[in-house]
Structure 1
Amino acid sequence: MGYRVNAKDITTNYTQTLAEFTANLKYEDIPEDVRERAKHLAMQTIGVALGTKGMKLSDDAIAIGKSCGVGEPEATLWVDGGKVSMSSAVFTNSTLADALDWEDCAWTGHPSAGVIPVSWAAAEGFHRSGKELITAIVAAYEVYTRIAMVVQPPEDEDVFKGWGLTSWQVFAGVAPAARLMGLTPDQINQAFGFGVLCCPVQSNLHHITMSDAYHYEHGFRAKDGILAALTAKAGVENYMDCFDDTYSFDYHMTREPKRDWYTKELGSRWLTKEVLVKHWPANMWLQTPIELVHNITTKNGIKPEDIEEIVLDPPTLGRMFFDPAGFNSLTQAQFSGPYMIAMYLLNPVPGPNWFDLSMLRDPKVLELAAKVKPGKSSPDIINLCFKGFQRGEFPMKTVTITTKDGKTYSESMDCHPGHPRNMMSHEEFCDRFRIEAAPTLDADKIEKTIEALSHLEDCEDVAELGWIFSE
């Protein structure tokens, strides 16, 4: 434990238990289906990051990574292919992983935007094998999710207080970095403490402003994860047991911490398999509506010019924003049901073209988006939707399309493809990767990359796979 003024008050060992799990988890002890899911999560996250090529946000994040890339060139900048330090690489790559809002959504945020870029960069920098990389990925999802579940807000929380998904996101970086750097359990214990140090006060700033700074937040937390592990590896005195001291972490994050979640079913229930994978580049609560529009229009041959009205019932509070003058950020568009449905209808193949700045105010897009209306049911409340998601539920949505000839078409769905209860198959992941990675990789390289990621366990040194990230 080391010195602390309130040592007599420490009666649990949550931090050390998580640290020992992170350090000691063995590849062979992970169920095969969990290992496969880890590879699919890596494929999805890498694919959507490669899908950002040509976007201003992508270009800017790469430029920032290069400008901060001092030190040994240890890790690859995705999309660009250049080599920089691990911390600079993960700032860029985690930002790219979240830029299209296409990676994942767990019960508590977007762990893949931290877990996968950090795991990959640390595996490159320390020349770890594919099996070691997969093990670190699984350890990270298991640890991150439990820490985050401890500090989830109560159901009656003031929504304007903010939801700290980009606060506790730091642990999605700390855990895999510490594991792949070879830290001891005591050092990992301290690394978690540095994670607490780098966990910002929860803020609603990104949701209130709908700024694309939101995507950069994932880059900041990933960089902090690398630095936390490196600092603990260098060695400090004390700084132990952050999750066991009431006043070190969870006390400041929520008024109702659920502390049993720190180690709940650790090693027996694999929360890696509870992560939702997004089928479309949009906010998670828009996945089902877009899927329904896709199903209805595909089955019935409906074209954009045929449509009189689209009704989404029930709507989700905060996800039906529409301004006839247009949208002023990627994030605002990604959170808008009318915009995302219009973009699908006008271009059913998703990619960075959906978020070209010219599209945000394009008259054709806005004309179609204006036809997307909320139904008459009371709107779903996002905080309550997350509570349901944590219980294995998902909101039932109905989309009704009325065409100009007076015909109506309606379908309902709850768990869209990619939901843990309706997870995509291996071939479906590969097909999605082909679409996601197309802006960066040609067809031949896409197939070679799919092969490499599908057999990641056979790789002896992850640093040898740097070729997959650029043309």
Structure 2
Amino acid sequence: MGFRVNADQIKTNYTDTLSRFTADLKYEDIPAEVRERAKFIAMQTVGVGLATKGTPIADRSVALGKFTGGAVSEGGATLWTTGCKSSVVGAAFCNSTLADALDWEDCSWTGHPSASIIPVAFAVAEAEHKSGKDYITAIVAAYEVYQRIAMAVQPPENWPNYKGWGLTSWQIFAGVIPAAKLYGLNAEQVNQAIGFGATNCTIPGQLHHITMSDAYHYEHGYRSMDGVVSAMNAKLGISNYMDALDDPWSFENHMCVSPFPEWYTKDLGKRWLTMETLLKHWPANMWIQTPLELTDRLLTEHDIKKDDIAEIIVDPPTYLRMYYSPDGYSSMMQAQFSIPYMLACLILDHTPGANWCDETKLKDSEILALAAEIHGGNSDMLYMPQCFKNFQKGRHPVITVTIKTFSGKEYSETMEGHLGHPRMMMTPEQFKDRFRIQAAPTLRGDKLEQVADLLANVERCDDMAKVGELLR
């Protein structure tokens, strides 16, 4: 006996609408500025993955990628930092972990979709010999669908900090959709793939925030791996597994106490949420970007040296981002989430990268001594749930950084947003310059310039396997 649906439960079939959008979307349907933005989001994501070369988490991710997908000599997809190849599943796991490892990718209203969308799209496009235009189309489809599914299950206003904040739960749809698109699933199969995504969506958890463990970065790899398998499962065939977002006890009702199902199809194909994604300019948590940008400006414009600095004030302070320990930091993630630590790294080493959070730096006496002089101001504390709600409305925290020097001079600047914010997006040349810094641990000389040029013009690429070959 099947479920009986009351008349008031009948509504637009959200799953079918999103599935048809995914299956039917063509490169030519996407506005030029959206295609351009997606291309540079992809370039940045590959860059920040390459930036992890030589770090313990990169070595472990490569080992796990080979373990989950095996090592292959032909076909398959490239593991970014080594150039060796694994299966699509292994590459998706490895590269998604790398994409999040330095906390340098994107930040949408709901998480880090690029950490799955780009590695999955890259791996499937490479293995299936898809074109750069196919790659961009899959990326845009994924951003538009992922973001709407994620928004449907966001905690309501004034919800307790972090409770139900499951960004690595709904992350699975950032893996499902690009794989489904590039594997050529039809609308019914995409519908089923979304069903597998809902089935494999983990319960929201915060163990990584409690422990500040770098295990958090691997969660993106797990969701990407499951996303690829979900799409392939649907392609291979399954029956009676439709409309996961529409059944009487649908996905959002399991995930959220007060869901917003209208978000599933809100302005689909009209309002391109790809354009509302933030790109981080620095390898640090989203809410540390503006303090870093301001500090960088003040240091550069006033030629301030580390020995000149008596104190730095960040106002208003952000909840859980002013953490400082005189004994040092226990993990890369804990350091990435600390304004005092990250500002000290910037002051001591102006080139951003994995070097800022090298394990030997987490208890470095010079960094810790400088971080001890970085304090929060007296304004009311910023709380992240409200910051995210404001981000969804187009606003960003207004931050002031003041540097006090031993000579008695003070330098201060205020900013809302930062370079990489949707309203202050980097130019193509700025993206390429950042990519050169990001990819330098993995690529050198002519090879670096070849990869940068190819990714900056990826729509001209007839076979994404050529990008993988350049990374060898």
TM above 0.5 = yes
User: Residues 242 and 465 (structure 1 numbering): CA distance in 2 closer, same or farther, change over 3 Å?
Assistant: same
Name 1:46's counterpart in structure 2: 46
Q: How does 1:22-421 map to 2 (within 5 A)?
A: 22-70=22-70, 73-421=75-423
Name 1:17's counterpart in structure 2: 17
> What is the Cα deviation at residue 74 of structure 1?
1.0
After superposition, what is the alpha-carbon deviation per residue over 1:432-469, rounded to whole angstroms, capped at 9, x for unaligned?
Answer: 00100000000321111111112211111111221333
TM-score for the superposition, normalised by structure 1: 0.97
The residue matched to 1:377 in structure 2 has which SS?
coil
1 CA distance for matches of 2:165 and 2:11?
Answer: 29
After superposition, what is the alpha-carbon deviation per residue over 1:27-80, rounded to whole angstroms, capped at 9, x for unaligned?
Answer: 011111111101100110000000000100010000111122238641111111
The residue matched to 2:312 in structure 1 has which SS?
strand
After superposition, what is the alpha-carbon deviation per residue over 1:400-433, rounded to whole angstroms, capped at 9, x for unaligned?
Answer: 0000111100000011000000000000000000
Contact 1:50–1:469 (Cα < 8 Å) also in 2: no
> What is the Cα deviation at residue 12 of structure 1?
2.7
Q: Partner amino acid for 2:298?
A: I
Worse-superposed segment, 438-447 or 313-322: 438-447
1 CA distance for matches of 2:470 and 2:324?
Answer: 38
> What is the Cα deviation at residue 6 of structure 1?
4.1
After superposition, what is the alpha-carbon deviation per residue over 1:71-103, rounded to whole angstroms, capped at 9, x for unaligned?
Answer: 864111111111111011100000000000000
Q: Partner amino acid for 2:390?
A: G
> What is the Cα deviation at residue 247 of structure 1?
1.6
2 CA distance for matches of 1:370 and 1:247?
Answer: 51
Worse-superposed segment, 397-406 or 122-131: 122-131
2 CA distance for matches of 1:159 and 1:386?
Answer: 11
1 CA distance for matches of 2:261 and 2:2?
Answer: 21
The residue matched to 2:411 in structure 1 has which SS?
strand
TM-score for the superposition, normalised by structure 2: 0.97
Q: Partner amino acid for 2:332?
A: L
Q: Which runs of 5+ in 2 are unaligned?
A: none
Q: Partner amino acid for 2:251?
A: F
The residue matched to 2:401 in structure 1 has which SS?
strand
* Match of residue 3, structure 2, among 5, 8, 21: 5
> What is the Cα deviation at residue 7 of structure 1?
5.3
> What is the Cα deviation at residue 134 of structure 1?
0.6
Q: Partner amino acid for 1:135?
A: T
Q: Partner amino acid for 1:97?
A: A
1 CA distance for matches of 2:229 and 2:10?
Answer: 27
User: Residues 348 and 89 (structure 1 numbering): CA distance in 2 closer, same or farther, change over 3 Å?
Assistant: same
1 CA distance for matches of 2:151 and 2:164?
Answer: 16
User: Residues 359 and 25 (structure 1 numbering): CA distance in 2 closer, same or farther, change over 3 Å?
Assistant: same
The residue matched to 2:310 in structure 1 has which SS?
strand
The residue matched to 2:327 in structure 1 has which SS?
coil
Name 1:428's counterpart in structure 2: 430
1 CA distance for matches of 2:23 and 2:429?
Answer: 33
Identity of aligned residues (%): 57
Aligned residues: 468
Cα-Cα RMSD: 1.2
The residue matched to 1:159 in structure 2 has which SS?
coil
The residue matched to 1:188 in structure 2 has which SS?
helix
> What is the Cα deviation at residue 158 of structure 1?
1.9
